[in-house]
Amino acid sequence: MQTSEVREKIADIISDIALDEDLAGLDDSQSLRDQLDLDSMDFLDIVMELKKRHKIEVPQEDYPQLATMNSCVEYLTPKFMQ
């Protein structure tokens, strides 16, 4: 799976959680929480949706690797290929 496809899957999940946010101007190198005003529950919802939709489990100690879109894609791309 291409990194662009992984990014699209992540963006789909985020858009379902942060309904009022526009992802078009998202800076992939900046914190998702800061840009989208996500709280800890929103973040956990994203992690749960990854598990529900794509059978990808993210251990709690790996949560910091999901800070930016770039780090999400880097961390999750190998997991989508399993």
Split into its structural domains, the chain has a count of 1
Domain that holds residue 68: 3-80
CA distance 76 to 56: 8
**28 pLDDT higher than 90:** yes
Strand partners, 68: 31
CA dihedral 50, 66, 3, 77 (to 10 degrees): -60
Buried b (16+ CB within 10 A) or exposed e, 57-67: ebeeeeeeebb
- Residue 28 has φ and ψ, to the nearest 5°, of -65, -15
pLDDT, tens only, 29-77: 999 999 998 999 999 999 999 999 999 999 999 999 999 999 999 999 9
Polymer length in residues for the chain: 82
Report the CATH number at residue 38.
1.10.1200.10
